[in-house]
Amino acid sequence: MSTLLLLLLACAGDSDDTVIVPAKVSVDDACTEDNFGDPGASEAALEAIYRANCYRNLLGLDLGVLNANLNTAAQAHADYMQTEQDPRPQRAGREAGLHGRPGLGSGGGRRAGAQRRGSPSARSSAKAQAPARPSMAG
């Protein structure tokens, strides 16, 4: 029974609506000179998307397109990862980049927001500056 199933699958049908697309046999055959989006992208980015699209086309996938906003975000992330070379998990999350470390949280708005939310440095400085509460004992 399984042999019959394999033979039927190999036939791929015999109706007139069966479409057989010739396979591209090499990556270079699959390369296309389509527009890849962001005209302001670097030469390296254009080469990377061009080569990736050769493989995507070879696999029958939609072509990738560069997006200026995503490129900017990816570059900012790469820059952050390059300066923040401490992979310890306890430095991740909301506290990452605070306490004199470069990167996330070093900008005024980010740091102020983190301190308002109660980062350890904000709590310790708030305790030091807070006036003593009057006692309710009578």
Confidence of residue 84 (pLDDT cuts 50, 70, 90): confident
Question: Mind listing the pLDDT tens digit for each residue in 96-125?
Answer: 555 455 555 544 445 444 444 554 544 444
Give the tens place of pLDDT for each residue, 17-72.
555 555 556 777 778 777 777 888 888 888 888 888 888 888 888 888 888 898 88
pLDDT(9) > 80: no
Domain ranges (residues) in the chain: 23-76
Nearest to 66 by CA among 40, 101, 103: 40
104-107-113 Cα angle (round to 5):
85
